Chains A and B, each alone.
Chain A
Amino acid sequence: MTAPLLAVDDLRVHFQLPGTGWFGSGKQTVKAVDGLSIQIERGETLGLVGESGCGKSTTGRAILRLAPITGGTVRLNGRDLTTLSAAELRPIRRQMQIVFQDPFASLNPRHTVEQIVTEPLWVHNLRPERERVARVRELLTLVGLPGSAMGRFPHEFSGGQRQRIGIARALAAEPDFIVLDEPVSALDVSIQSQILRLLLDLQVQFGLTYLFIAHDLAVVGQMSDQVAVMYLGRIVETATREALFQAPQHPYTQALLSAVPYPDPEIEAKRRRVILTGEVPSPVNPPSGCHFHTRCPIAADRCRVEAPSLRTIGPGHQASCHFAGRPPPELQGAKPGTSLPASP
């Protein structure tokens, strides 16, 4: 097996909050990402799922060195990015790009589409100057926009089209690796599937490697080879797409899966839902032991004191739950894998 394109080991991103006491005393630390390790093989997609505030976007940004890294290593093509200076990093930035969630905020409203998509070519000095216009036109065609879009401004486009512009900008740098940070969550269902399909087509065409960040497990399933589930800065479960959906081991993964509504009233009527109580606790002051124990339907005394480590359950399948691999009987009926009809 060849080395993975991206290998993140024990990544930590901690933010210091201003103190609440006198003269800045009582400073608190938010451990937005706390000991995260992931690997992505070349040409594959890792789906990173979790609720707001779990640290999934921060992870994506830290990997690109857009967020300050407190500890750990990020290796792209075997090279550790965390130790590089800004100047050393610059050529490597070309290889890694990002597509943002909000297509309304991520494009400069005063720049034309041509300016937006050409910028990476200038920055990284790609293509001779006279070929750049043609290149922009080519990129726009790739993402399904007409050449006439070049002279227009972002506000003249719909959400889906703007996201296409953002994708064209990311492609302009000819990257190996793209962080897709909730690229479709601001879009309508019918437009969503268009953009996802485009992203997959581009992945096949250019051998791209994706980190696909999303909160919707159903969408992640359409895009990913591997899936990692995050909760309060840590990965609670990671597996291949099939394993995670068929046999989720962590109760949080099971709850997330059961919170995905099915567009089918018959299945919905029969489903047993795992409805979690409460909300995600504050990352400033996460619960002791297993971070999830305050909302976990199967939490035991041990979970309140002892934090579980990420254990291997099966081939490529890891979960950080004391009960993983042997879920208590009362939860088995609620597992989405067992309560659903077989895939058609």
Chain B
Amino acid sequence: MRPGSDVSNVSAPLTTPGAPVLSVRDLRVEFDTRRGRVRAVDGVSFTLNAGETLGLVGESGCGKTVTALSLLRSVPAPGKIDGGSIEFEGRDLLSISERDMNRLRGKRIALIPQDPLTALNPVMTVGDHIVEVLDIHLGMRGETARSRAAELLSRVGIPEPRKRLDAYPHQLSGGMRQRVMIALAISCEPAILIADEPTTALDATVQAQILELLDEIKRETGMALLLITHNLGIVAGHCNRVSVMYCGRIAETATAGDLFRHPHHRYTAGLLACVPRLDRQGKGIFFTIPGTPPELTNLPPGCAFASRCDAVTDHCRSERPNLAPTNGSAVTATTDHLMACWNPAAKASSDGGADHQTSARMAVAYGRAHETSDA
């Protein structure tokens, strides 16, 4: 695994598809607040492979955005990264100089933020935004840069790209602004694209367009996509692998297929059951996870999900589970399903039908909901 040697040239294709491009180990981020020290990210590890989409899923405050910002070393104050390593192109990003980091930001690792309106400078035209990036990172100026900018706009599906170069952000719709953000992000052909809730601010039909566009660009360029979202439906349709976060830690990591078929962690199973689905329709058909996540300033000693879990044991309350392979063996390079749960919903994913327990539990929950609504 030496991705650094052959990706130094910007326009060269990436490493072989599937090779790890980024490796995060035991990342920890702390925020010193008036109410105490908050560990927003607590020992997060994951690998991002070329040409794949890794979904980072979780609810507000679970640390998914902070994790993403850590990869760019852009965690806002008072937050600071206080442990772990982020290996990218043969270097640990946490130990390189700010100057070197600046050369990577936006060039090798790019970010699409959630809100495209606040991310664009209102007094700069769309063209200025893109030309600035091309100038700083690639030394492209003048007409060359403008042509390249127009090309990028046309690539992301903006009609009349030449004309749009002179448009200001407020003259574009939300979907168009998000397309501009994507054009900016891919302008230097990054190895990694981080998309932080890229469609949350958009309408359903536009969301579908943007996700399709990201998939296309990923296929074309072979970059790795880190897709941060709270929407499990998006994960199902667009991610190869998924990590579910809860209270600053990864609760479960698996391939998308495995995660949805055999959710092991009780939180994953519950979250999946909560998502409203078109094929399980009926008034009052609900599954709910009771309660709310604990305050990060006041995490329990055991599993952070214990207070909301319906299968909680004494063990869960006393000892914090670590991320481990679902089959109980040691972690190896080929392990693709990890979970941090003492009493998982599915016991083993070897026989392909181990989620009976989950489905049975959900059936009961649905039945109950029916009764209440019919009462």
B237:A265 contact, CB within 8 angstroms: yes
A129, CB-defined interface residue at 8 Å: no
B257, CB-defined interface residue at 8 Å: yes
> Per-residue 0/1 for A207-225: is the Cβ within 8 Å of any B Cβ (1 yes, 0 no)?
0000000011111011111
Listed residue (B270, B285, B286) with the most chain A CB atoms within 10 angstroms of its CB: B286
* Chain B: minimal CB distance from A229 (Å): 12
Stretch touching chain B among A71-79, A109-117, A131-139, A197-205: A197-205
B100, CB-defined interface residue at 8 Å: no
- Excluding A261-B234, A265-B260, 16 further A-B contacts by CB distance (< 8 Å) are A52-B203, A159-B60, A161-B292, A189-B232, A197-B286, A200-B283, A204-B373, A204-B375, A216-B276, A222-B282, A222-B283, A242-B281, A263-B260, A266-B260, A268-B233, A268-B236
Report Cα–Cα, A245/B236, bound state, in Å. Answer: 21
* Chain B: minimal CB distance from A202 (Å): 11
Pairs of residues from A and B, 3 with the lowest C-beta to C-beta distance, nearest first: A261-B233, A268-B237, A218-B276
A330, CB-defined interface residue at 8 Å: no
Closest to B275 in A: A263
* Chain B: minimal CB distance from A250 (Å): 13
Closest to B159 in A: A278
Contacts of B237 in A (CB 8 A): 261-262, 265, 268
Report Cα–Cα, A330/B364, bound state, in Å. Answer: 40
Report Cα–Cα, A262/B236, bound state, in Å. Answer: 7
* Chain A: minimal CB distance from B208 (Å): 4
Report Cα–Cα, A106/B368, bound state, in Å. Answer: 33
Residue of B60, B279, B375 touching A343 (CB-CB under 8 A):
B279
Stretch touching chain B among A61-69, A82-90, A251-259, A307-315: A251-259
Report Cα–Cα, A222/B209, bound state, in Å. Answer: 26
Residue of B204, B274, B278 touching A262 (CB-CB under 8 A):
B278
Report Cα–Cα, A52/B237, bound state, in Å. Answer: 24
B7, CB-defined interface residue at 8 Å: no
Query: For chain A residues 245-291, which have a beta carbon within 8 Å of chain B?
Result: 245, 255-268, 273, 275-277, 279-280
* Chain A: minimal CB distance from B278 (Å): 5
A273:B208 contact, CB within 8 angstroms: yes
A192:B283 contact, CB within 8 angstroms: no
A265:B257 contact, CB within 8 angstroms: yes
Chain A positions near chain B (C-beta within 8 angstroms)? 45, 51-52, 158-161, 188-194, 196-197, 200-201, 204, 215-219, 221-225, 241-242, 245, 255-268, 273, 275-277, 279-280, 295, 336, 340-341, 343-344
Closest to B229 in A: A261
A216:B375 contact, CB within 8 angstroms: no
7 residue pairs A–B, Cβ–Cβ below 8 Å: A160-B292, A190-B308, A197-B372, A221-B276, A262-B236, A265-B237, A268-B233
A225:B278 contact, CB within 8 angstroms: no
> Per-residue 0/1 for B252-275: is the Cβ within 8 Å of any A Cβ (1 yes, 0 no)?
000011001100000000111011
> Per-residue 0/1 for B46-77: is the Cβ within 8 Å of any A Cβ (1 yes, 0 no)?
00000000000001100000000000000000
Residue of B205, B280, B290, B373 touching A200 (CB-CB under 8 A):
B373
B277, CB-defined interface residue at 8 Å: yes
Report Cα–Cα, A277/B277, bound state, in Å. Answer: 24
Report Cα–Cα, A159/B293, bound state, in Å. Answer: 12
Interface size on B, residues (CB 8 A): 51
A260:B233 contact, CB within 8 angstroms: yes
Closest to B242 in A: A265
B10, CB-defined interface residue at 8 Å: no
* Chain A: minimal CB distance from B59 (Å): 4
Report Cα–Cα, A196/B369, bound state, in Å. Answer: 11
Residue of B203, B232, B275 touching A280 (CB-CB under 8 A):
B203
Report Cα–Cα, A245/B285, bound state, in Å. Answer: 15
B288:A276 contact, CB within 8 angstroms: no
Closest to A225 in B: B283
* Chain A: minimal CB distance from B237 (Å): 4
Report Cα–Cα, A146/B190, bound state, in Å. Answer: 51
> Per-residue 0/1 for B3-19: is the Cβ within 8 Å of any A Cβ (1 yes, 0 no)?
00000000000000000
* Chain B: minimal CB distance from A280 (Å): 7
B277:A263 contact, CB within 8 angstroms: yes
Report Cα–Cα, A51/B208, bound state, in Å. Answer: 13
* Chain B: minimal CB distance from A149 (Å): 14
Query: For chain B residues 199-254, which have a beta carbon within 8 Å of chain A?
Result: 203-209, 212, 230-237
Whether A192 touches B281, Cβ cut-off 8 Å, given contacts A200-B373, A266-B257, A279-B175, is no
A221:B257 contact, CB within 8 angstroms: no
A197:B279 contact, CB within 8 angstroms: no
B208:A259 contact, CB within 8 angstroms: yes
> Per-residue 0/1 for B168-185: is the Cβ within 8 Å of any A Cβ (1 yes, 0 no)?
000001011000000000
B287, CB-defined interface residue at 8 Å: yes
A262:B205 contact, CB within 8 angstroms: no
Query: For chain B residues 287-319, which have a beta carbon within 8 Å of chain A?
Result: 287-290, 292, 308
Residue of A196, A224, A255, A264 touching B205 (CB-CB under 8 A):
A255
Query: For chain B residues 356-375, which have a beta carbon within 8 Å of chain A?
Result: 369, 372-373, 375
B279:A219 contact, CB within 8 angstroms: no
Closest to A257 in B: B278
A222:B276 contact, CB within 8 angstroms: yes
B122, CB-defined interface residue at 8 Å: no
Contacts of B276 in A (CB 8 A): 193, 216, 218-219, 221-222
A262:B277 contact, CB within 8 angstroms: yes
